[in-house]
Amino acid sequence: MGTLLQTLPDGPLDIVGDVHGELEALQNLLLHLGYDSEGNHPERRHLIFVGDLVDRGPDSLGVVRLVAKLMRNGAASCIVGNHELNLLLGKRRAGNEWFWGESQELRDNGHLIEQVLADDSTRVEIMLFILRLPLALQRADLRVVHACWDARAVKQLQDVQCGLVELFYDSEQAITMSTVAAGHKRNSMTANLARQNDNPVTVLTSGQERPTDEPFRAGGQTRHVERVPWWESYEDQIEVVFGHYWRALDPDNRAVKRGPYLFGDRPYHQALGPLHSAYCVDFSVGYRNVARAKGDVSRRSTALAAMRHPERELMLDSGETVAITGT
Task: Read off the pLDDT of residues 257-275 as tens digits, 9 standing for 90 and up.
Answer: 677 889 999 999 999 999 9
Question: What is the pLDDT averaged over residues 220-237?
Answer: 87
CA distances from 13 to 188, 288, 310 (A): 43, 26, 7
Closest CA to 187 of 196, 87, 215: 196
Angle between helices 120-131 and 60-72 (to 10 degrees): 50
Within the chain, strands assigned E span 5-7, 13-16, 46-49, 76-78, 104-105, 112-113, 136-139, 142-145, 209-218, 221-227, 239-242, 278-280, 282-283, 303-309, 313-316, 321-323
Task: Read off the pLDDT of residues 231-246 as tens digits, 9 standing for 90 and up.
Answer: 999 999 999 999 999 9
Per-residue model confidence (pLDDT) at position 49: 98
Q: Cβ atoms within 10 A of the Cβ of 158, count?
A: 10
Q: Is the pLDDT of residue 297 over 70?
A: no
Closest CA to 96 of 207, 164, 20: 20
d(CA 327, CA 322): 15
Task: Read off the pLDDT of residues 62-72 as tens digits, 9 standing for 90 and up.
Answer: 999 999 999 99
Closest CA to 14 of 33, 31, 32, 27: 33
In 3-state terms the chain splits into helix, strand, coil percentages (rounded to 5) of: 35, 20, 45
**Burial of 164 per CB tally in 10 Å (0-12, 13-18, 19+):** buried
pTM of the model: 0.95
Q: In this predicted model, which residue has the larger pLDDT, 110 or 83?
A: 83
Confidence class of residue 31 from pLDDT cuts 50, 70 and 90? very high
Question: What is the pLDDT averaged over residues 43-48?
Answer: 97
d(CA 152, CA 235): 15
Half-sphere exposure (Cβ direction) of 196: Cα atoms closer than 13 Å: 20
pLDDT mean across residues, the chain: 92
d(CA 229, CA 232): 6
Q: Is the pLDDT of residue 222 over 80?
A: no
Question: What is the pLDDT averaged over residues 95-119?
Answer: 88
Q: Is the separation of the CB atoms in 130 and 84 below 8 Å?
A: yes
Q: Is the pLDDT of residue 217 over 80?
A: no
Question: What is the pLDDT averaged over residues 186-212?
Answer: 91
Confidence class of residue 251 from pLDDT cuts 50, 70 and 90? confident
Per-residue model confidence (pLDDT) at position 301: 79
Confidence class of residue 296 from pLDDT cuts 50, 70 and 90? confident
Q: Express as a percent the part of the chain with pLDDT over 70.
A: 94
Buried b (16+ CB within 10 A) or exposed e, 83-94: bbbbbbeeeeee
Per-residue model confidence (pLDDT) at position 216: 66
d(CA 196, CA 210): 10
Q: Is the pLDDT of residue 221 over 90?
A: no
Q: Is the pLDDT of residue 219 over 70?
A: no
Question: What is the pLDDT averaged over residues 113-118?
Answer: 93
DSSP state of 175: H
Confidence class of residue 185 from pLDDT cuts 50, 70 and 90? confident
Per-residue model confidence (pLDDT) at position 183: 84
Where is average pLDDT lowest: 161-165, 218-222, 309-313? 218-222
Q: In this predicted model, which residue has the larger pLDDT, 185 or 246?
A: 246
Closest CA to 180 of 193, 170, 190: 190
Per-residue model confidence (pLDDT) at position 299: 54
Q: Which residues are within 8 A (CB) of 90 and not within 5 positions of it... i.e. 6 or more apart? A: none
Q: Is the pLDDT of residue 1 over 60?
A: no
> Strand, helix or coil at 226?
strand
Closest CA to 107 of 225, 224, 257, 218: 218
**Burial of 141 per CB tally in 10 Å (0-12, 13-18, 19+):** exposed
CA distances from 56 to 86, 97, 292 (A): 13, 9, 11
Q: Cβ atoms within 10 A of the Cβ of 320, count?
A: 12
